[in-house]
Structure 1
Amino acid sequence: MALSLAVSPCPNDTFVFHALVHGLIPAAETVDLTFADVDVTNTAAERGEFDLVKVSYAALPWLLGDYELLPCGGALGRGCGPLVLTREGHDGDLSGATVAVPGDRTTAYLLFRLWSQDNPPARIEVVPFHQIMPGVADGTFDAGLVIHEARFTYPRFGLTALADLGEWWESDTGLPIPLGAILARKGAVDPQEAAEWIRTSVSMAWADPDASREFVLANAQEMEPDVVKQHIELYVNEFTLDLGKEGLAAADALLGRAAAAGLTPPVPSLLT
């Protein structure tokens, strides 16, 4: 029986998992792939719906009882954090604002809550990611929290970046930004074996980028090839191959600060 895998259709995930999902790794088990946005997988994983699943680091406090964090395959890095966008001319005061966010357990929203603790917005609305920038542009929302390819495309909507939460996080902690994690469901898959399959898949993607090109572009949600290339270069990095101590320290810092602020349940250190 195939293992169930859920990742996003974003270029970094399709690039990383191409070899694994296409049966190109001889030692790996067959994988049954589901594409879903991370706000969907965060809650689906809480129900135990997938054997291997991409989730937000912010969702880990609700998932680590049933899942184990894998040390590879996710999205963690520098210069790749979420942006808070507003229309040009906005005064930057969010105290009375309605802010659109892509999910209430996303790392982006958790970073936003930590950043805005002293001046939280009046209202938060969770909306599908593709509606955020158009909604800010047309005045439906006063501001929007965006991730991924929006870093490259938001000027097209006439928007301006009020804050780069990645820059804020890095300047405050000195650590990379922990965005998306890969989890293995306990009892369903051996985490060490799964990590080796994923690392092999990453290495194969780097060794022959053209092999995954058709698969990546077919699922890139109408992104132009140059944006796809920028996306992969930004989000697929050394931490994708191995979180290492620095990556785990970043996740620890995020979850520790969130728990201290009363935003998430506490979790044991990931470094032990």
Structure 2
Amino acid sequence: MRLGHSPDADDAFMFYGVAKDKVTSDKIEFVHVIEDIQSLNKRALGKELEMTAISAHGYLKVQDDYRILASGASMGEGYGPIVVAREKLESLAGRKIGVPGMLTSAYLLLCIYADGFIPVEMPFDEIMPAVANGEIETGLLIHEGQLTYKESGLELLFDIGELWEKETPLPMPLGLNVVRRDISEDLQREILRVHKGSIEYGLSHKDEALEYALEFGRGMKEDVGEKFVLMYVNDYTVDLGGKGKAALEYLFNRAHEKGIIKEQPRLDILEL
């Protein structure tokens, strides 16, 4: 069973229990496919992976082929993607901005909160250096760049997480885990059981799970890595629940209202 996830500390934390056989199954064996989120979004378009991490935005394109797992979501409360530049700017209109992929939730959120910019798709870990050395005017940062941009001498233009929080008390949906529809219902539920168990194991054994997760931290300092992981692995990661589902509905409603998406998806969420 191919399992796609990103080479990021928060995903590594979630999958620690599975990767180290702390949570096992006699029905399935996982083969880990580790790639950046935009690559996983593209794999999902081709139905390549039985289970994968995916952007909430990416789900719009694959809803006919995949179901959302109730466990594994990344949701921010009071924080999220940020937009940075070398100096303060009044507007993004007419300016090039490095983005980590057109299917990422960060890009969808940028389209909701800003207008008139020119997106330039780049690997997420190349955006901050490209802004710092002047290759590109502004950048949309995800992952640990949200915490470390000041070290590169960059200025915060706006924090999408703060804009979202001013609008709604709901968490901001960023990442999901999905399972392919053509797998039997029994196996889908077994995948969810194992995945949820892995997340719960990590949260109840934080020290060892964090030690493993920071191996994927791209040189992050330990305190920064821990803060980053625990920003995005939370109660909604264990189970979306009604509030998590409402947050997804709110995101897609906002995108629909602004004319970014033509129709809202049906939220088919697999629960135990």
Normalising by structure 1, what TM-score?
A: 0.92
Counterpart of 2:168?
173
Identity in percent: 32
1:80 to partner: Cα distance: 2.8
- 1:195-214 to structure 2, matched below 5 A, reads 195-214=192-211
Q: 1:58-97 alignment to 2 at 5 Å?
A: 58-88=57-87, 90-97=88-95
1:142-169 Cα shifts (integer Å, max 9, x gaps): 1100012112100011111111101111
What is the CA–CA distance in structure 2 between the aligned matches of 1:31 and 1:21, rounded to whole Å? 9
Where structure 1 has 5 or more consecutive residues not aligned to the other structure, the ranges are: none
Deviation digits for residues 66-97 of structure 1, max 9, x if unmatched? 00001111201302310011113x33321121
CA displacement, residues 114-156 of structure 1 (integer Å, 9 cap, x when unaligned): 101xx321x2100111111111112211110001211210001
Residue 45, structure 1, aligned to residue 40, structure 2 = no
| Equivalent position amino acid for 1:176 in 2 | P
The residue type paired with residue 138 of structure 2 is: A
| Aligned amino acid, residue 174 of structure 1 | P
Structure 1 residue 256: Cα displacement: 2.2
2:243 maps to which of 243, 246, 264: 246
Q: Does 1:114 align with 2:109?
A: no
Structure-1 separation of matches of 2:210 and 2:167 = 37
Structure 1 residue identity aligned to 2:207 = D
Q: Report if the CA contact (8 A) 1:252-1:269 is conserved.
A: no
CA distance, structure 1, for counterparts of residue 258 and residue 91 of structure 2: 22
Contact 2:99–2:127 at 8 Å: present in 1 too? yes
- Alignment of 1:258 with 2:255, yes or no, is yes
1:34 CA drift (Å): 1.1
Amino acid at match of 1:76: M
**What do residues 3-54 of structure 1 show as CA deviations (whole Å, max 9, x unaligned)?**
1001011111101111113332233621100111111111110101111100
Question: 1:212, 1:259 → 2: CA distance?
Answer: 38
For 1:124, the aligned partner's letter is P
The aligned counterpart of 2:147 is 152
Task: From 24, 27, 42, give the equivalent of 2:25.
Answer: 27
Identify the range of structure 1 (190-199 vs 132-141) with the bigger mean alpha-carbon deviation. Answer: 190-199
Q: Distance in 2 between matches of 1:271 and 1:201?
A: 22
Please give the secondary structure, in 2, of the residue aligned with 1:154: helix
Matched, 1:131 2:126: yes
AA aligned opposite 1:153: T
Distance 1:112 1:250 in 2: 17
Residues 184-193 or 123-132, more deviating = 184-193
Q: Alpha-carbon deviation of 1:213? A: 4.1
Counterparts of 1:93-108 in structure 2 under 5 Å?
A: 93-108=91-106
Structure 2 counterpart SS, 1:58:
helix
For 1:213 and 1:175, how far apart are their aligned partners in 2?
27
- Segment of structure 1 superposing worse, 11-20 or 218-227: 218-227
User: Is the partner of 1:85 in helix, strand or coil?
Assistant: strand
Q: In the superposition, relative to structure 1, how do residues 112 and 78 fare at CA in structure 2: closer, same or farther (>3 Å)? A: same
1:184–1:191 CA contact under 8 A, matched in 2: yes
Alignment size in residue pairs: 266
- 2: CA distance, partners of 1:101 / 1:26: 37
Moved more, 186-195 or 14-23: 186-195
The one-letter amino acid of 2:140's match is: L
Q: Would you say the 8 A contact 2:161–2:172 is kept in 1?
A: yes
Query: What letter matches 1:128 in structure 2?
Result: P
Supply the AA of the counterpart residue of 1:147. Answer: I
Q: Cα distance, 1:269 vs. partner?
A: 4.2
CA distance in 2, matches of 1:135, 1:27: 44
SS at match of 1:249: helix
1:99/1:26 CA distance change after superposition, 3 Å:
closer
Q: Structure 1 runs of 4+ off > 3 angstroms?
A: none
Deviation, structure 1 residue 265: 4.0
Deviation at residue 228 of structure 1 after TM alignment: 1.2
Q: Which amino acid aligns with 1:170?
A: E
Structure 2 unmatched ranges of 5 or more: none
